[in-house]
Amino acid sequence: MSRPHAVVTGGAGFLGSHLVDTLLDDGYHVTSLDNYGSGRPENLVHVESDRFESLEHDVRDPLPDFDRVDEVYHMASRASPEDFESHAVEIALTNSEGTRNAIECALDHDATVLLASTSEVYGDPEVHPQHEDYNGSVNVRGPRTPYDESKRFGEALAVAYDQQYEVDVRTVRIFNTYGPRMRPDDGRVIPNFLSQALHGDDLTVYGDGTQTRSFCYVDDLIGGIRAVATADRSAAAGEVFNVGNTDEMEIRELAEVVLDVVDTESGITHEPLPEDDPQVRRPDISKITAEFDWEPAVPLREGLSRTVADYRELL
């Protein structure tokens, strides 16, 4: 164990599996923990390393005993809107009790924690773009509540452990991310559009499509996470950073770009806007850029082309 040991909860998920790849490339010993609720074993089947182990484990239970842990990446949680109602309790407990278990593991080993939070903590924002000091506008009893509020509580736990035990917890608020290994039936807009386009179906736009999002390619997102996780304690401990792309676009514009990238004859249909669906979403990333000189680099069309290639093979 001369190499650093990183534990990744949700390691078989979309983001978690890409993080596992990066950690192994950086020379770590890596342990993935996943209950395979939304994560998929196929996301890790390509990994061939004696520095990697994959354990089936639910983070709602205390983490396994390890001889040594240097970094804990708490990535576990269903994040698809399709799951917010059907798996509401699981989501709420993963982001509360699961966060506690991840931080307790770090406390036992004097390890660093990277807590994956979300732009959803801003709700349907009244401040645009969203910066880290904005407390958000969240419906505490709406259909997105099990995810939104449990993520907010996870951040509160991070602050509590920092205040009481001086645990080094760094939080990233992740904005709309896409890329290979994202489930085609995930329910978020890019997987929906790509799956529909590749099947020759019309793309479903909710509302009039003027709501906006800012899309970050997964490689850029993982780079931002690692920048925060590996920073000096004085620069990152107890801090929260937005990680995402600042290129904002309307959903109806995204639909046209997807149709062009996939080169399909599919059209566009409209359905009613879901309750509490945010109207705007764009991160202010000036904090992470100033601290760590990080910013996304992959243009949307290039990222979509890479993702389409993965989806064609998968579908």
pLDDT tens digits, 170-205? 999 999 999 999 999 899 999 999 999 999 999 999
Homologous superfamily of the 5-178+216-246+282-297 domain (CATH): NAD(P)-binding Rossmann-like Domain (3.40.50.720)
| pTM score of the predicted model | 0.96
* Strand, coil or helix: 79: coil
Residues with a catalytic annotation lie at 147
CB 190 within 8 A of CB 177: no
Q: Is the pLDDT of residue 61 over 90?
A: yes
CB 181 within 8 A of CB 310: yes
- What residue segments make up the domains of the chain, in order of their start? 5-178+216-246+282-297
Which of 44, 151, 52 lies closest to 93, judged by CA? 151
The mean per-residue pLDDT over the stretch 53-57 comes to 98
CB 248 within 8 A of CB 283: no
Q: Is the pLDDT of residue 48 over 90?
A: yes
> Phi/psi class of residue 15: alpha, beta or left (left: φ > 0; alpha: ψ in -120 to 50)?
alpha
pLDDT tens digits, 19-39? 999 999 999 999 999 999 999
**Structure confidence at residue 314 (pLDDT):** 83
pLDDT tens digits, 232-269? 999 999 999 999 999 999 999 999 999 999 999 999 99
Q: Is the pLDDT of residue 1 over 80?
A: no
